[in-house]
Structure 1
Amino acid sequence: MDTQAPVPAALRPYVAWLSAYDVVGPPGIHRGLPGTSLTFVLPIGAPLDVAWSGDPGSRGAVWSSVAGLHAAPAEIRHDGHQEGFFLALTTAGARALLGLPAAAIAGELLTLDDLVPALRHLPEQLHQSLTWTDRAATLHRALTTALAAGGAPEARAEVGRALARLARGAAVADVAEEVGYSRRHLRNLVVAETGLSPKEYQRVARFETSRDQVLAAARRGGTLAEVAANCGYADQSHLAREWRELAGCAPTTWLREEFPDVQAGGVPVG
């Protein structure tokens, strides 16, 4: 089971999506790929063995994991059984639920104990819940309570608009003009909110789009060349270079590791 779960209306501006997972397969390493959302994982049954790729010093076994925005993959080692909740938090969600701007934890792997002591008992409460329905209710209740307690002040509305336009690939100069700032001032605001420059944020957003399109192409029999063109890469080689740098592997390797049933059909490389 790996099912996208409904997000309560009050949490939708802050939780981009929520997945309940209970997956059994061969032992291995799951790649946590860069994106425009913060990653919040609550494992059940066994702690999460997580680290930044290539950085053994960051490795830990934790009952909650919050990863700030990043431009490198994380690695989650598992024995074949993975169970818990995965949440993608928006930058607004970092302020509302964690009490700080996403920039404050960019490139960091932290726990609820580090960030939100009021939620430190949530992993234990999830373990005490006997069904997925009860677990989801426990999670929703804890996050709604954290939201009501109040987090960091909201970012300026124009910063949110700028991030949305940048994620869709608009030129930095055009976005700055739209929100009424100089390029330099826009850069400073985006860095202060996300920890990434506008160009870095766009790069991660384009990679995130390509990840979804690679999977879609595999399912329909499309090609990586089509994905590259659709996502605005110069060519397939450009797409491959970005995947090596941001994911640590080729798109076909990611498919084989994460979606072996889909990959069995193959993804034409032309």
Structure 2
Amino acid sequence: MATVHPALAPYVRSIVVYDIAFGGPGVHIGMPSTGVTFVLPLDEPLAVAWDGAPQTVSVGWSSVSGLHTTAAAVHHGDHQRGIQLSLTPVGARALWGVPAGALAGELLDLDAVDTGLADLPERLSGEASWDARLAVLDHALLDSLRRHGTPVVRPEVGRAMALLTRGVPVAVAADDVGYSRRRLSTLVHDEVGVTPKTYQRLARFADAHGRLRRAALDGDVSVARVAAESGYADQAHLARDWSGFAGCSPTEWLRREFPIVQATEHGGGGA
């Protein structure tokens, strides 16, 4: 995990450097979330498609995907290196000059989103160290931020989305910001490309995904505990959402992404 420049912090949730050796070719599951995903591979182009639609594989030296409710299938060889960023929804406006809603459900090359950053993959590939690549990335994003100016987003919409992320019911969030539920739905959809209810479900799912990933890395996995901590009614509720968003059950996801980890169904840990 790289440090995010303070000026980029409102727009960039995380910058992750990855250098992964696999046992052979395979497919990584790109999970839905409330963020905009931006990937810059180094050694070979990224081959990515929506899960279940391999005939539409996009291959390129960059990949931008807006909010989506279907998992992405990221095809890999024996080894992958690159940088992956997660942007806040307003980050799309700040860094590329487009609302996240315009990117929803899309898999695009960077030059199709912002031609001003089209040479960024080439600039990164010309550097010999991660520190140098991250410095190039920082400079490029800061330049882009200056080029597009401060994004204008209704503060009521931002507040409503923050409330939805915390699990506040849609009607309550609408009342809090003084909108009808229908009006709020229109504004949120325009901003991020999904309805308030779907945005709320994505936020809860993303929280569960993060918790389950951390638990797998710690070797102490309980799907039931993750469900309770993420605000699901029970484990079955989480399993239904996980299957809908990820295309597989939580335990199947663990088997594919963390093959040496075994999940327990109720309480406790497992290794």
Bucket of the pairwise TM-score, normalised by the shorter protein: over 0.9
The answer to whether the 8 Å contact 1:101/1:152 transfers is no
**TM-fit CA distance, 1:92:** 1.0
TM-score normalised per structure 2: 0.93
Counterparts of residues 28-39 of structure 1 (less than 5 Å): 28-39=26-37
Residue matched to 1:61: 59
Matched, 1:16 2:13: yes
1:1-270 aligned at under 5 Å gives the runs: 4-26=1-23, 27-150=25-148, 153-218=151-216, 219=218, 221-261=220-260, 263=261, 266-270=262-266
> What is the total number of aligned residue pairs between the two structures?
264
Structure 1 stretches (4+) deviating beyond 4 angstroms? Answer: none
State the TM-score, normalized to the length of structure 1.
0.94
Question: Cα deviations across residues 12-59 of structure 1 (Å, max 9, x unaligned)?
Answer: 111011101111112211111000100000000100011111122421
Kindly provide the amino acid, as one letter, of the partner of residue 33 in structure 2. Answer: G
Report the 3-state secondary structure (helix = DSSP H, G, I; strand = E; otherwise coil) of the residue aligned with 1:41.
strand
Moved more, 177-186 or 5-14: 177-186
1:111 aligned partner, one-letter code: D
Letter in 2 for 1:21: Y
Tell me, what secondary structure is at the counterpart of 2:228?
helix
Q: Percent identity among equivalent residues?
A: 50
Tell me by how many angstroms 1:80 deviates: 2.1
Residues of 2 paired with 1:185 and 1:119: CA distance? 35
Q: What CA deviation, in whole Å up to 9, does each residue of 1:230-259 have, x standing for no partner?
A: 222232122111111100111122223223
Displacement after TM superposition at 1:220 (Å): 5.8
Q: Unaligned 5+ residue runs, structure 1? A: none
